């Protein structure tokens, strides 16, 4: 059996102790983070968590050992790859994710890194005055020229497309142009709590997401309860109002006068009376004034009738007047009959 250094055994034991001491264990990506920045992040976590970086193989061993007493912890093994660290904490995974996500900051690109987005240099002046740097800009593919004592980029240019490697000269020039395309910080890959492993796609929840879901569920549940007339403290007011509106509509439709529907019935009778008077050509100053007012409130058609329409109107004029009288009489009968 190969000899294992004592410090490695001690380190694995400390990792196991930490994972057993705290309820939440997480694996975070620390790729590209400077040592000073990691120290600052460690200080922010102090008192609620500890952060430990070591070789991935030792992390594997520690997680497997701790999983014997914390079933489900082995679900973190898939997240241990590349440059990563272990965090053991008393904060729940969602709060921990938000805290770590706040550490994300813009950083300069290094030669050979893949562009996380399209790296675009906008059209316009640069901070540089005339000098040899114009040649450096042109070498990396930027259409640069001198204008009004400044080096300017003549048109917007995409230097590197997303996913492509960033060359050395481009990586050197981007910070000079004020472009920091990389985002670095502690990126939480997965977190364990109470036998469940939460991955990043579950933890990355926008602010107000669940509040919006609950609000929509409450609204839809209330609408369904009203639709099926299910009585609760939250629906009784709307159901009573709905029943009142439907009873009023039925009362008016069936011409049943009540103290609530009499106004609507009288208004309908008045409209029917005006229809009869208009169809019969009844002459009276008050009726004529009412008819003129009613006619003025109806929009007039702008298109002129065709000759065929005029003939049709002439042929059907007598029938239309008779139908108007019949309809009006029918309305009056339904109201008072």
Q: What is the pLDDT of residues 81-95, one digit of tens each?
A: 998 999 999 988 998
pLDDT given at position 268: 84
Quote the CA–CA distance of 138 and 153 in Å, as a whole number. 10
Compute the Cα dihedral for 68, 72, 73, 76 and give only its sign: positive
Q: Which of 64-68, 112-116, 121-125, 317-321 has the lowest mean pLDDT?
A: 317-321
Q: Mark whether 201 and 65 lie in a shared domain.
A: yes
Q: Mark whether 323 and 274 lie in a shared domain.
A: yes
Q: Mark whether 86 and 157 lie in a shared domain.
A: no
- Say if residues 109 and 184 touch (Cβ distance below 8 Å): no
Q: What is the model's pTM?
A: 0.54
Q: Is 234 helix (H, G, I), strand (E, B) or coil?
A: coil
Q: Mark whether 99 and 71 lie in a shared domain.
A: yes
pLDDT given at position 315: 44
Determine, yes or no, domain membership for 111. no
**Between 56-66 and 6-21, two packed helices, what is the crossing angle to 10 degrees?**
50
Q: Mark whether 28 and 84 lie in a shared domain.
A: yes
Given a cut of 60, is residue 186 above it in pLDDT?
A: yes
Give percent above pLDDT 70 in the chain.
84
Whole-angstrom CA distances from 206 to 60, 97, 98, 105, 213 are 32, 12, 10, 18, 12
Query: Residues 85, 88, 92, 93: what is their CA dihedral angle, to the nearest 10 degrees?
Result: 20
Quote the CA–CA distance of 114 and 162 in Å, as a whole number. 7
Q: What is the pLDDT of residues 122-142, one digit of tens each?
A: 999 998 988 889 999 999 999
| Nearest one of 118, 29, 141, 15 to 73, comparing CA atoms | 15
Quote the CA–CA distance of 25 and 197 in Å, as a whole number. 9
CATH number at residue 156: 3.90.105.20
Q: What is the pLDDT of residues 30-39, one digit of tens each?
A: 887 777 777 7
Q: What is the pLDDT of residues 304-335, one digit of tens each?
A: 444 444 444 444 444 444 444 444 333 333 33
Q: What is the pLDDT of residues 165-174, one digit of tens each?
A: 999 999 999 9
Determine, yes or no, domain membership for 114. no
Q: Mark whether 16 and 83 lie in a shared domain.
A: yes
Q: How would you write 117-156 as a 3-class SS string?
A: CCEEECCEECCCCCCCHHHHHHHCCCCEEEECCEEEECCC
- What average pLDDT does range 33-46 have in this prediction? 74
CATH number at residue 198: 3.30.70.1730
Q: What is the pLDDT of residues 150-165, one digit of tens each?
A: 899 999 999 999 999 9
Domains of the chain: total: 4
Q: Which of 54-63, 271-280, 295-304 has the lowest mean pLDDT?
A: 295-304
pLDDT given at position 297: 60
Determine, yes or no, domain membership for 238. yes
Take residue 250 and report the two structure tokens written for it.
């039925």
Q: What is the DSSP letter of 116?
A: S
Domain ranges, residue 155: 119-179
Quote the CA–CA distance of 202 and 1 in Å, as a whole number. 42
Determine, yes or no, domain membership for 109. no
Q: Mark whether 222 and 314 lie in a shared domain.
A: no
Determine, yes or no, domain membership for 36. yes
Determine, yes or no, domain membership for 112. no
Quote the CA–CA distance of 100 and 40 in Å, as a whole number. 12
Q: Mark whether 81 and 97 lie in a shared domain.
A: yes
Q: Mark whether 197 and 68 lie in a shared domain.
A: yes
Given a cut of 80, is residue 337 above it in pLDDT?
A: no
Q: Mark whether 29 and 82 lie in a shared domain.
A: yes
Quote the CA–CA distance of 149 and 119 in Å, as a whole number. 26
Determine, yes or no, domain membership for 113. no
Determine, yes or no, domain membership for 282. yes
Q: Mark whether 99 and 13 lie in a shared domain.
A: yes
pLDDT given at position 307: 44
Q: Mark whether 140 and 288 lie in a shared domain.
A: no
Q: Which of 24-33, 257-266, 293-302 has the lowest mean pLDDT?
A: 293-302
């Amino acid at each position: 059996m190969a000899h294992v250094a004592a410090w490695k055994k001690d380190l694995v034991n400390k990792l196991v102790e930490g994972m057993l001491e705290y309820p939440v264990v997480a694996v975070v990506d620390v790729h590209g983070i400077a040592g000073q920045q990691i120290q600052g992040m460690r200080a922010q976590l102090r008192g609620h968590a500890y952060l430990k970086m070591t070789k991935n193989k030792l992390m594997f061993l520690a997680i497997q050992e701790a999983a014997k007493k914390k079933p489900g912890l082995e679900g973190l093994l898939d997240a241990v790859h590349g440059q990563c660290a272990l965090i053991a904490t008393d904060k729940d995974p969602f709060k921990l994710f938000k805290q770590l996500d706040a550490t994300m900051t813009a950083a300069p690109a290094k030669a050979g890194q893949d562009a996380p987005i399209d790296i675009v240099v906008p059209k316009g002046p640069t901070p540089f005055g005339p000098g040899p740097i114009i040649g450096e800009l042109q070498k990396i593919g930027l259409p640069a020229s001198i204008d009004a004592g400044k080096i300017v980029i003549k048109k917007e240019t995409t230097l590197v497309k997303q996913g492509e490697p960033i060359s050395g000269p481009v990586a050197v020039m981007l910070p000079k142009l004020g472009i920091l395309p990389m985002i670095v910080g502690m990126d939480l890959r997965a977190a364990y709590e109470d036998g469940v492993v939460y991955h990043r796609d579950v933890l990355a929840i926008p602010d107000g997401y669940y509040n919006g879901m609950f609000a929509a569920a409450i609204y839809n549940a209330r609408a369904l309860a009203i639709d099926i007339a299910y009585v609760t403290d939250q629906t009784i007011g709307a159901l009573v109002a709905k029943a009142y509106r439907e009873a009023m509509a039925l009362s008016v439709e069936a011409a049943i006068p009540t103290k609530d529907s009499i106004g609507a019935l009288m208004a309908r009778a008045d409209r029917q009376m005006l229809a009869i008077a208009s169809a019969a050509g009844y002459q009276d100053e008050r009726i004529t004034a009412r008819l003129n007012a009613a006619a003025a409130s109806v929009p007039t058609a702008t298109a002129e009738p065709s000759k065929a329409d005029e003939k049709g109107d002439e042929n059907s004029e007598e029938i239309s007047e008779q139908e108007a009288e019949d309809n009006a009489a029918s309305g009056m009968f339904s109201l008072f009959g």
